[in-house]
Structure 1
């Protein structure tokens, strides 16, 4: 079940076909992703309990405490701004140079600090939402070196991001949980 707002965007399959952005939309990402991303996927998979996707309530932060700094939880809305950050881990904040919790994805995504257009990020979210499947993005980004205002000393670098759908009703994606492997550059 696609969200109601898909009419505001070009068809997903055509947009993916026309994109040159590096992403993997099959489980083959498990062959190339980091151990952190693989652990995140394994946890999500274990919480499905035979369903298409788990609910937000199935995700227990205590089970993945070591991953929390790398995680973003995004709410899916039926109208603009469509995607809102609800939880942003400290490594994610360091990558952006600021905390986007409560803000729209479209103007606060990874790469906004270098004027990286949000189209590819939104396309990743659309895939997770419309296909109700994992999507792995491995476009390397370096975060700002924000000096004393960052949680990290020096710039940080994205190694890869996995987006996974969550559903309150088992059909419609109402949240997307992401994990980005971020390391010091």
Structure 2
């Protein structure tokens, strides 16, 4: 995991993720986190297929997927909008996500990840992921905006 300092420039190696980070950063209020109401879906058309919006209800294990992009639905093979942890594909994925989301909720900062894991179909995949915190009260992270790109691990090209 790479925790991102929002006060300093950060080199996100995946340009498709960098563009979303720049958009999110432009919605900050000084050093305060943007809220869901600051994010305009009409401004995000280019990212929607690989985007998730997740709302947390208390701790990290209690959340609901509010938006699951069509590319992500295709990859996972199921519609996950409206569901939470119970709809995740594998124990390995559940553990990985709880760890990633906890880090962002606790630090109140974005994070960039590259990971390998096995999905429910037994396919090893590499994942590049950017997790961006959102806060309705500018204090507590209550939602995250997530952009993900996958590729099988045997492919040589970049994400």
TM-score, normalised to structure 2, is: 0.80
TM-score, normalised to structure 1, is: 0.70
Q: Distance in 1 between matches of 2:77 and 2:19?
A: 26
Higher strand share: 2
Deviation at 1:31, TM superposition (A): 2.8
C-alpha RMSD of matched pairs (Å): 2.7
Matched, 1:128 2:104: yes
SS of the residue corresponding to residue 116 of structure 1 reads: helix
5 Å matches for 1:32-181?
Answer: 32-78=12-58, 81-104=61-84, 106-109=85-88, 112-113=89-90, 115-141=91-117, 158-181=126-149
Q: Distance in 1 between matches of 2:132 and 2:151?
A: 21
5 Å matches for 1:12-51?
Answer: 23-27=1-5, 30-51=10-31
Over alpha carbons, which structure has the higher Rg?
1
Q: Distance in 2 between matches of 1:32 and 1:57?
A: 25
Higher helix share: 1
CA contact (8 A) 1:133 1:164 kept: yes
5+ residue gaps, structure 1: 1-22, 146-154
